[in-house]
Amino acid sequence: MPLSPDLLAAVEAFAGRPTLLVATDFDGALAPLVPDPSDSRPVEGGMERLTELAALPGVTVSLVSGRALRDLAVLSGATPEMVLLGSHGAEDSRHREGLALTEAQQALLAALDDELATLVEDHPGAWVEHKPAGRVVHTRRMDPVAGPAALDAASALGARHTALVATPGKEVVELAVAHVGKGAALLGLAEDLGVDAVFYAGDDVTDEHGFAALAANDREERAARRLTVRVGDGETAAQHRVADEHELVEVFQALLDARR
Ligand SMILES: [Mg+2]
């Protein structure tokens, strides 16, 4: 499908600003969702277009993901000039020292591991991904009844520990002991870089925080110059929508053409 005239006009206007942050979610936006998250790879042409964008003057490219920073770096094949924000912004590739958890956060993580071991026994097929600041319960390999029950159990576990931040996604629930959120992470990066305008694309609940935060940015000029794109269906606060990862690559190409 060709991109809508509205979206192309928005890309033209966006690309004309002096300095840009072009940020995107990884899974479900840049990389098609797959049953085993470790098999995930960027869609054809995606990283190539982003690498070309990152090489243009005044453009910073960022990948913003719930994944651990190390996973995101390996699976995406991002170049060093790209800024990677992992663990929903709790990890930042510009800060090599990584995460420093408090003793209380470490103790909470240990308690969480004990409880998740029981959860996995009770819900066969669910599995737990370890991240530096939390754990993620995955149910993508489970059937349509058992999967949601396991996610409910994970959310209930999160609710019992008030210090945990539970973030539901597509067939996942993340339980984090340190949480920034994609919205705050995007605004923080835009502020650090001092860019005039921010592009963000994503496909999931957590990305909606990004869309909403960019719309409500205190820097009203920057908020007015945002360009937000929801990938796939579902209710959204984004300004535009594309059908899938392939169409997002077309948006990157349009950005490149307009910027050049
Ligand atoms: Mg996603």
Residues 195 and 215 in one domain: yes
Give the pLDDT of residue 186.
95
Residues 77 and 29 in one domain: yes
Task: State which of 140, 155, 176 marks the end of a domain.
Answer: 176
What is the CA(222)–ligand 1 centre distance, in A?
24
Query: pLDDT at residue 140 above 80?
Result: yes
Task: State which of 152, 176, 200 marks the end of a domain.
Answer: 176
Residues 196 and 157 in one domain: no
What is the CA(94)–ligand 1 centre distance, in A?
22
What is the CA(26)–ligand 1 centre distance, in A?
6
Q: What Cα–Cα distance (Å) separates residue 50 from each residue in 44, 54, 61?
A: 12, 6, 7
Residues 9 and 91 in one domain: yes
Give the pLDDT of residue 188.
92
Residues 77 and 195 in one domain: yes
Residues 11 and 88 in one domain: yes
What is the CA(230)–ligand 1 centre distance, in A?
10
Residues 195 and 151 in one domain: no
Nearest Cα residue to 252 out of 29, 19, 5? 29
Task: State which of 136, 154, 176 marks the end of a domain.
Answer: 176
Domain of 240 in residue numbering reads as 5-97+180-245+252-259
Q: Where does the pLDDT of residue 243 fall: very low under 50, low under 70, confident under 90, or very high at 90 and above? A: very high
Average pLDDT over residues 196-223: 95
Buried b (16+ CB within 10 A) or exposed e, 139-157: bbebeeeebeebbebbeeb
Average pLDDT over residues 34-43: 90
Q: What Cα–Cα distance (Å) separates residue 49 from each residue in 22, 137, 151, 180?
A: 11, 32, 36, 28
Q: Where does the pLDDT of residue 137 fall: very low under 50, low under 70, confident under 90, or very high at 90 and above? A: very high
Residues 108 and 165 in one domain: yes
* Amino acid, single-letter form, for residue 157: L
Residues less than 5 Å from ion ligand 1, measured at CB:
25, 27-28, 203-204
Tell if the pTM clears 0.75, that is, is over it. Answer: yes
Residues 191 and 237 in one domain: yes
Residues 128 and 232 in one domain: no
What is the CA(34)–ligand 1 centre distance, in A?
12
Q: Tens of pLDDT along 155-188?
A: 999 999 989 999 898 899 999 998 788 999 999 9
Residues 143 and 185 in one domain: no
What is the CA(140)–ligand 1 centre distance, in A?
14
Q: Domain containing 43 — which CATH number? A: 3.40.50.1000
Percent residues over pLDDT 70 in the chain = 98
| Structural domain total, the chain | 2
What is the CA(27)–ligand 1 centre distance, in A?
4
Residues 12 and 85 in one domain: yes
Q: Domain containing 154 — which CATH number? A: 3.30.70.1020
